[in-house]
Amino acid sequence: MAQPRLTPETRTTAFYFSYFMGPGAAVMFLPIWLSEKGISTEQIGIINAVPVFIILALNLVVGRLADKASDWRQVIVIGALIAGVVPIGLFFVNEFWGILLFWTLAALPGGAIGPVLDAATMRMARRNGSDFATIRAWGTVGYMMFNALTGFLVVWFGSAIFVPLFVGLALLRAAVSLQLPAFRAPPEQATVSAATPSKGKLREIILQPWFSLPLLGFAMVFGTHQLIGGFGALIWKEQGISESIIGPLIALGSLSETAVMFVWKRFGSRVSARQLMLICAGVALLRWLLMAFSPPVWALLLLQMLHGFTFALGFLGCVHFIANWTSEDIAAEAQSLFTVLQQMTSVVALIGFGALVGWFGPYAYLGASVAAGLGGLCIWLSLRMKQPKEDAIATG
């Protein structure tokens, strides 16, 4: 039988690359586009938060359905196709309620398939002896590319370019999803695991505080990133920084994230999952504290380079931590639970930071610093309850 021209890892990498392009464009220009339409910072927070809030009710259901399907691929492709068509409605709305409706409908299917994609890719990578982090890193490359490119496109063509760009990227993602491989191991092929995973129902695992606390802790750290994602570009513009610099600034954070993921395999097995998550929380506390005092562009460059530590390390630690301690029959559901926790903190963060930015401007970052510290405390408590032995990260 002829071997396929593209490996499953290559096909999955291509989808990750396209998956984050639209969000990369949105984080760069959505708050500015909304502001130009007369929408307040509080309303911008609501537009960002409502999709996340609704996905809270969907993620575990979608994860459970994906686990019960013959392959996780089916749910991923269906979600990508829906997410490709719905954003077309953004061409026909210009006020708060219409934008809220179509932005929410556009974000739901894409957000719901994210944890399924991560769980499916992690299991495939472990089975094949490949590296999940390298595959996932290409998603950040796509995100970073449109962080930078969107800023220049807006300078060249004006804000009217944003909606056609976002819709085009959503349709591209839908098309690329059609070539995804099957992810599940054949019945006769055992899945390689770095540690013996816990068997049993999800609720029996999450009731153990040493397991749930680090996921909650990183979710809190993750939520602090919603300040820079939802309002960072707007804050910088109000400080007199042009869009042509804001785009590369955001892209620099993504570049840092990509670099960490690409070199992950060299050091990932040297530190336990929760230790990495704790490092992530500590660096985040420092990053947001310094951002609160409106540093100059040269300092922002350095702070944006910390993004690989404040996000990528914690994310990879959590994904490996979950995979090490859960069985394949609840893989997508367990990953969806982790995403639900992130979304819960994101809803609080987006709405809360919307108000804080309106009241205090960049000093809202002080609130993010406090939240990162509380997240680190949760991870530290888990380490006190159960020392990292079996849950050390393996890179495959």
Give the residues across from 392 on adjacent strands.
272
Does the residue 146 lie in any domain? yes
Count how many domains the chain has: 1
Given this model, what pLDDT does residue 186 score? Answer: 62
Note the pLDDT tens digit of each residue in 230-277. 777 778 877 777 777 877 887 788 788 888 888 877 766 677 888 889
Domain residue limits at 369: 8-183+195-385
Three-state DSSP string of 210-257: HHHHHHHHHHHHHHHHHHHHHHHHHHHHHCCCCHHHHHHHHHHHHHHH
pLDDT at 39: 84
CATH code (residue 343): 1.20.1250.20
Low-confidence ranges of the chain (pLDDT < 70): 1-4, 185-203, 267-269, 388-396
Flag whether the pTM goes above 0.85: no
Distance CA 111, CA 75 (A): 12
Q: What are 272's strand-pairing partners?
A: 392
Element (H, E) at 40: none
- pLDDT computed for residue 187 by the predictor: 54
Burial class of residue 65 in the structure, from the number of CB atoms within 10 Å of its CB (0-12 exposed, 13-18 middle, 19+ buried): middle
According to the model, what pLDDT value does residue 201 have? 62
Asked whether residue 392 is domain-assigned, the answer is no
Instruction: Answer yes or no: are the C-beta atoms of 271 and 393 closer than 8 Å.
Output: yes
- Say what the pLDDT of residue 17 is: 95
Is the residue at 221 inside a domain? Answer: yes
65 part of a folded domain: yes
